[in-house]
């Protein structure tokens, strides 16, 4: 399993009138978590897209346990629990400064060839970077 953590401060624009993070913004937090997790590994979304492979979201699951609030420092914990093939699944835990679990989620993304939008295998570089975590 591969695991990464990324901290972000909840901005005013992330919240609703109650000062709670608006539920739709958790998908953005998930994106931040997965992009930074791959960047931490040494992999770039931009390079992959320049090489002709895109990764649209196939599904997104989110469960809200406690609200994240304006100006809190939250940690997005991102994990990849299995080596990707044509799809890659990310799991998320969002916690606050008090170590309270606020949200759990998952997204599944699929690797597609940019020009045809046809499924393809995960880029070899992604496989090689993740492989040591699954041996």
Q: How far apart are the first and last CA of the chain?
A: 9
For 94, the domain range is 2-134
For the domain that residue 38 is a member of, what is the CATH number?
3.10.129.10
β-pair type (112-113, 53-54): antiparallel
Q: b or e along 32-52 (b: 16 or more beta carbons within 10 Å of the residue's beta carbon)?
A: ebbbbbbeebebeeeebeeee
Q: pTM of the prediction?
A: 0.94
pLDDT by position in tens, the chain (length 135): 899 999 999 999 999 999 999 999 999 999 999 999 999 999 988 999 999 999 999 999 999 999 999 999 999 999 999 999 999 999 999 999 999 999 999 999 999 999 999 999 999 999 999 999 998
Within 10 angstroms of residue 121's Cβ, the number of other Cβ atoms is 12
Number of compact structural domains in the chain:
1
CB 59 within 8 A of CB 108: yes
Burial of 75 (0-12, 13-18, 19+ CB in 10 A): middle
CB 115 within 8 A of CB 74: no
The number of angstroms, rounded, from the C-alpha of 31 to the middle of its chain's C-alpha atoms is 4
């Amino acid at each position: 399993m591969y695991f990464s953590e990324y901290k972000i401060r909840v901005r005013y624009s992330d919240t609703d009138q109650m000062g709670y993070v608006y539920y739709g913004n958790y998908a953005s937090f998930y994106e931040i978590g997965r992009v930074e997790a791959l960047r931490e590994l040494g992999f770039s979304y931009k390079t992959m897209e320049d090489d002709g492979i895109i990764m649209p979201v196939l599904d997104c699951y989110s469960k809200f346990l406690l609200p994240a609030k304006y100006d809190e420092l939250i940690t997005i914990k991102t994990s990849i629990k299995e080596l990707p093939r044509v799809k890659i699944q990310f799991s998320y835990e969002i916690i606050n400064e008090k170590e309270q679990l606020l949200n759990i989620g998952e997204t599944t993304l699929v690797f597609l060839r940019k020009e045809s939008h046809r499924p393809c295998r995960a880029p070899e570089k992604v496989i090689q970077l993740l492989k040591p975590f699954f041996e």
